[in-house]
Amino acid sequence: MSSRPTALVTGGSSGIGEATAMLLAANGFTVYAAARRVDRMRHLEQAGIHVIALDVTDDESTRQCVQTIVAAEGAIDVLVNNAGYGSYGAIEDVSIEEARRQFEVNMFGLARITQLVLPGMRDRRSGTIINISSMGGKIYTPFGGWYHATKHALEGWSDCLRLEVKPFGIDVAVIEPGGIKTEWGTIAADNLAQVSAAGAYAGEASETASSMHKRYQGDSLSSPNVVAKAVLRAATAKRPRTRYAVGYMAKPSILMRRFLSDRAFDFIIARAA
């Protein structure tokens, strides 16, 4: 068993998860990067990162992941809940089945792995849970209704969890990334174009999807490393902040939502979209 603190990073095969796993490993953590497709993480092994299969929507897969790490390392000291995706499309167009899957991945899967990690943290009276939310957990945009719903839910859920586990010496931090240059944006744009390509919302949906493609292919968005650095700060702080807003437009967007009226914010978001 390693004497170094052990971190589990879900959604570790690319983007924010990959950058986070690499940075934690470079700063003294024993890191397990978890994702459904282990073949996409083989390069991480060269950096001394353990790769492990995980489907957060499958309870047996989640149990096996946690049990394997605890058996090998004795404990999970830091859990980084990063796995997730963006299901974009007009609320009327997105099937309820897909909406449920969005919640299964972004919320319920995250909640289940947290439940499995918590008993060990409580017994040791220490641990840090870091939930990757989004500025989308504080703001809203057209055609992202189901995605925003999961992130708004995660924000409130994390607040409740923080109060419940504080007496056991466990910290809960939320990372709220802004625009981060990963494949997340192009996948969400493709989903939007496909789901709402016809019908009442087709015109605006097509324009929004095109705008998202341009933004995620451009140079204005932040690197995943800015999120990884925030995770590292939270994971190593004696008293982590409850929230870290990082990346392109995260802080100004959240501030605008806090201080503007609903109608004023609606106007700005509609123009931007």
Reply yes or no on whether 85 is catalytic.
Answer: no
Q: Which amino acid is at 61?
A: S
Q: Which residues are 78's β-sheet partners?
A: 7, 128
Residue by residue, what is the 3-state secondary structure of the chain? CCCCCEEEEECCCCHHHHHHHHHHHHCCCEEEEEECCHHHHHHHHCCCCEEEECCCCCHHHHHHHHHHHHHHHCCCCEEEECCCCCCCCCCCCCCHHHHHHHHHHHHHHHHHHHHHHHHHHHHHCCEEEEEECCHHHCCCCCCCHHHHHHHHHHHHHHHHHHHHHHHHCEEEEEEEECEECCHHHHHHHHHHHHHCCCCCCHHHHHHHHHHHHHHHHCCCCECHHHHHHHHHHHHHCCCCCCEEEECECHHHHHHHHHHCCHHHHHHHHHHHC
| Sequence-separated (6 or more) residues with CB below 8 Å from residue 40 | 13, 14
Which of 147, 201, 216, 248 does the annotation list as catalytic? 147
**What are the residue numbers of the active site?**
147
